[in-house]
Amino acid sequence: MIISKNCKLEKLKQRQYEHTNIGKAYRFLFSIANIIESMPYRCPQVLEFGVADGISTSVFADVLEKKNGKLISVDPVNCSDVISGEFTKRSWKFLRTYDYDTKTIFNSVERKSFDLIYVDSFSDYKTSYNHMTNVFVTWMPYLVRNGFMVIHGVDSHPYLSGGRKEDKKKEMMYDNVRRAIFDFYYKNENIYDLEMCLGSVGMAFLRKL
């Protein structure tokens, strides 16, 4: 059983049915859990960039425990206590580093391929386009066929002027992330499928064919 420091998984599971923005955000997370759950093999390996309070970490750990999988979570801030329990001892690695630190990440895994990569590590509108592009260049070669890269934060609508969370810098940050995804996708249309969910701050699902 996963013990989460900052959330109650059962509550999140219930709240995903709320007709609210937070309900939508949780639905997006649980749709990733469903993807992991439906992988037609056991022991999937998931790489996560951006841990903070460990909400996504908790959701992924919960499903990976059932699938006998592994989770590697990366954040430059110490988030090593956001989850605990049996799974964390055997199958979770928290790495206090950055998503571009391939050396540390590869030194910590048994196999250099990932079934799902989750990206929630953007922090600045000035760097978010290059940040996203670098994640693609660095990590897409290590995504398995039929694997997913899921990107959190692709819908700038809530941040528009007059919107419910008006914030020019965040609007630009999410616009830049979305632009980087489109640029990558249209250069590689034959290799990936792209689906985007809007609302809350949106989520993009890239599947490697």
**CA–CA–CA angle 47, 58, 30 (5° rounding):** 85
C-beta of residue 105 within 8 angstroms of C-beta of residue 95: yes
Number of residues that bind ligand SAM (CB under 6 A): 17
**CB neighbour class for 96 (10 Å; exposed up to 12, middle 13-18, buried from 19):** middle
Window of 16-24, 46-54, 157-165, 195-203 that interacts with ligand SAM by CB under 6 A: 46-54
Chain residue whose CB lies nearest ligand SAM: 50
For the window 83-102, what string marks contact with ligand SAM as x by the rule CB under 6 A? ---------------xx---
Under the criterion CB under 6 A, does residue 30 sit at the interface with ligand SAM? Answer: no
Under the criterion CB under 6 A, does residue 121 sit at the interface with ligand SAM? Answer: yes
Under the criterion CB under 6 A, does residue 52 sit at the interface with ligand SAM? Answer: yes
Which residue type is seen at 71?
L
**What gap in Å lies between CA 155 and CA 171, rounded to an integer?**
8
Candidate residues 24, 35, 36, 50; the one interacting with ligand SAM per rule CB under 6 A:
50
Residues binding ligand SAM (CB under 6 A): 49-56, 74-77, 98-99, 120-121, 123
